[in-house]
Amino acid sequence: MLYTIVVILVVLWLLGFLGANISPSFPSTGGWIHSLLVIAVILVILNLMGII
């Protein structure tokens, strides 16, 4: 379950990061890119530590 959330967050981060290159009409996400990446990294670290 945790890995599913992490994969979804990383995919959304990639869409936000590369979205403007794929289609000019893709909305600009700004700070959401960094927020999604930070959340995904924190979840992975917590899982490796055994907290989650």
pLDDT digits (tens, 9 = 90+) for 2-18: 788 778 877 877 777 77
Distances (CA, A) of 50 to 3, 18, 32, 44, 46: 14, 32, 27, 10, 6
The residue among 44 and 17 whose pLDDT is bigger is 44
Domain limits of the chain? Answer: 2-49
26-to-4, 11, 22, 33 alpha-carbon distances in Å: 24, 15, 8, 14
* pTM (2 d.p.): 0.54
